[in-house]
Structure formats: structure tokens, C-alpha cells
Structure 1
């Protein structure tokens, strides 16, 4: 859909594309689109990955390009880019412009079309807000984060070469370099990992390898498989934390724990994928 065809816009940072954001998207008409104000920092759902959670076209403004605009300047830019814009949809806490000094009131004053404000969304009495979901993720409470997201939290990383210790002494893993996604608290998680186009049950470790060299690592073991060749991007979906990161006296004890983690992960993943 071309910008000239857009008649309604949902505007926001849309970090997470969570249930609160989905409530805004439902207010768009058939010629509606999503305008993401992208902060280009580590977020729940960065960049174009947001587009996977909607059937509406997504457009992006870099925050640095618009952060110093006043209310009139912001609307002028919108009207220039979306010449047939008739309706703006925002959340109840929307603010914009330099130092976020402009409010919904200002938006209604300067925009000559309709402004629809969507109320706060709650799940189990908890406000569905990106800030809240981030805290759950950082605390390792993936189950609560997923409830508020309305989908499964994921990270995407580039395959990098590991030390090879896992395959020799423990279990084979795929090592990842992850950028722009926020990371869960250090620990071991029940996950599924997409390698070469297929999602497989997995156990994922994030943190400093206390029992080895204390280097930071993000690595995933695809249960029951020794992936000989993984390259490019790998996606990991997180279901639940199994345990905290801890130091073991030797590799034998670590391997015994990993095998226990694998059995726990199998049961957790089974609950989510049946």
C-alpha cells in the first residue's frame, strides 16, 4: 500500500507489538497502517521484526529525525508524507515532540482529522505496557511476559563460532551474537530454535560461563540433534526459565545438570506445542 492510500495511522514506538498495541491496530480501517517511531535501541521487538505481528503495512520514522519537532511541525510532516490522512490512533499515554512535551490534547488541537485514543489494556490486573514486559523479561519471568505480549518472546542472532567445548565435553550448541533485542536474565530456558527453517525443541543458555572461562555466551542446544552446520540467522522462541546460571565444580556435574535441563525443557515445550 502506498503512503498516498493511507487514511488512518496508528502511531507509537510499538516495542513488543503486545496486546495493548494490537488494541490500537483494531481501530484502523482497511486503508490503515502503522507508523513506528523507532528509537534504534535494544528493545523487545526491533526494526522490521515488528511487521511479523500485524497484517497492516508498517512505516518507520527514526526518532532522531523528529524528536525536535513541535506539535505543528510533527503534524505537518505527517500530512506531507500521508497526504490523505484522516484519522490518527494513539494510546492513552501517547506523547511526542521535544522532551515528549506535547500531549494528546495538542495532537487534537493541530490535526484537522479524527484522533482516537485507546484506553489502557490490562491482563490479570497488570497494565500491558512495554516497560512492564521488559522488566518481566529481564527478571526471567518469560511466562508473564508472553501473557502480556500475546505471543512468544523471541530473539534473533547471527551464528558465531564457539570454543567447541560443548560438543566435546557437554552437549553440542549453536553460539549466537544477538544485537538490538533485549535479553532475558542470565539462566537456562526452555525454548524452540529455528535452524535452517525448522523449529525444534531446545535448551538455551544466556550468561557468563561460570564453570568454564566466565565469558558471556548465548547458546542453544537443539534437543536430540547435533546440528553440523548452522549459519546466518537463528531464531529462538522462549517459553519458560528452567533455572538460574550457576557455577559447577567440574564439567561432569555440569553435564549431569544439562541433561536434567533437557528433560525439563522437553516437558515444557510439549505443553506449548501440542
Structure 2
């Protein structure tokens, strides 16, 4: 897969383009991309995913910036695993923001990406102030000679699968359902930083993580996790919270990795959240906390 970032793009081959934000690349997104890949195969078109390098709310200040389910590194790996030919990451700025719906399709999708077909979700909006919708896109497609395919929503338990729904599930600690809708475990990538070494003193050394982007953070508590270090996966247990037993103030993400004793400070690692174990609580003593940690570990091993 070729990754293209910024304005300097020109694809000569005929393409089919999937457009969207694709945060999380959940089952709904996967349905859309698979339809795009099907068209690519049937009509001998190169497959292109067109999305934004940063969320549009970074520029549109009237919109609240949502927390991320994935960083760009994770999105790139996911698209690559789906055998997409090109990933175009648009640098969303004032100039792009002010493009009319027609100009966005003409100047980017048609002129730069050479699209013969476009695949979007049922609620897709585009152009200045999101004035373009799927009906207008169909009209433009007829005018410009571009086939337009609108993908209907994918449902789970009567609810439309969306990035917003998944963020809400993660914030509530409902990891099993969030992971089901994602089609993979939710994970946080970050750098290991120095902590207070309390875990090591208690016999449970932890890696303290500084997330690489502004991820949506699961609710405070203890989680069954797996941790990826240098492409090797280890079983682990992770605490998110304020360390009330020690009167902590800021929220921390601390992971105890089973059967692991290597030096990993400043190393970037990935924590995959598999299940919620229990809420964070304040213990009367350090010994009580140690006993609870031992029980938590027994539960998930």
C-alpha cells in the first residue's frame, strides 16, 4: 500500500475511492471498504481510501474535537492489512475547508485521485459547512461520470455501529462490546515513562504509558490486557485511574506485564484492552492493595 500525505498527489490509474473519517475502522467502515475492494476487483480499478491526516474539528473550531480510537499508525496498518492500494491522507486546512462540495469532488476526488467510482457511508457529508450530502453526491456523479455507491448502516442490537457509539462504550469500560464492534481489540499506543516505582516496590513492576495521541480513555479501573513490545505479545493487567490509595491527582495508565523484566523506558508499546475486571477503589493499606492485585492476576490468568 502506498501512503500519500498532503497536496502533492496525482494518480494516473483509474480508481475507486472510499471517503470518510474512518476512526477505529469499525465493522461499518469495514463493510464500506470491502464494497470498495469488490468494485476494485470487478472493474479492474485501483483501490483508494481517502481520509484526513487530522480530524476536521482541528480546523473547524465550532466543532468539539472527538477523542481518537486510533492513531494514524494504527489506521495505516489496518488499511494495509485489508490490501488497499493507496491511502490518501488529506492535510485539512482552511483552503480545503472552504472548497464547495462540487470543487471537493472535482479538484480532489476526480483530478487528483482519478476516480471512476466513489463509495461512501449513508450519512456522508462533504464540502464547505458540510453542505454536500449523499443525494447531491449522486447528482454530481451523474454530471461528472463517476459511479456512486452509498453503503447502508451496519447494526448491532438495534443500534447503528459508529465511532461515536464505540467511544461511549470505551468510556464506560464495556470493552467486550466495543471490541466486537471494532472487529479487533481497542488499543492505546504510547511511550513508557518514569513513574513513582510503587508497583516495583510492591512486587508488581508496571510500565507507565504516555499515549501518542488524545485517545478516548476507558473508565477508571482494572483491565485484562495484552501488551505488544517489539512485535511480541505478552499477557498483562492494566490499571487506569488516579491511584486513590496513594492520593494521586492525575490519571495514569499503568501496565504490569507477566513474565517480563526487560528495560523498556522510552520505548513505544501497545496496550490492547480485552475486558474490564473491576472499578478502581481506595484501599486501607498497601498490604490490602497487594492482596487485591494478586487476586486480580489469578482471575485473568
Normalised by the length of structure 2, the TM-score is 0.83
Matches within 5 A, 1:2-21: 3-21=11-29
SS in 2 for 1:146: helix
> Does residue 109 of the first structure (1) align with residue 130 of the second (2)?
no
Matches within 5 A, 1:3-152: 3-28=11-36, 29-30=40-41, 31-37=46-52, 38-39=54-55, 42-54=67-79, 55-56=83-84, 57-65=86-94, 66-78=96-108, 79-82=110-113, 84-111=114-141, 112=144, 113-152=146-185
SS in 2 for 1:249: coil
Change (3 A) 1:43 1:86: same
Contact kept in structure 2, 1:156 and 1:236, CA below 8 Å:
yes
> Does residue 221 of the first structure (1) align with residue 256 of the second (2)?
yes
SS in 1 for 2:245: coil
Contact kept in structure 2, 1:6 and 1:33, CA below 8 Å:
no
- Show CA shifts across 1:153-210 (max 9, x none): 1110111111111101241000110123221111110000012331111001111111
SS in 1 for 2:32: helix
Change (3 A) 1:134 1:168: same
Q: Structure 1: 5+ residue runs without aligned partners?
A: 267-274
Q: Structure 2: 5+ residue runs without aligned partners?
A: 3-9, 59-64
Change (3 A) 1:63 1:35: same
Contact kept in structure 1, 2:153 and 2:160, CA below 8 Å:
yes
**CA RMSD across the alignment:** 1.7
SS in 1 for 2:22: coil
Normalised by the length of structure 1, the TM-score is 0.91
Contact kept in structure 2, 1:159 and 1:233, CA below 8 Å:
yes
Counterpart of 1:269 in structure 2 is none
Q: Distance between the aligned counterparts of 2:30 and 2:263, measured in 1?
A: 39
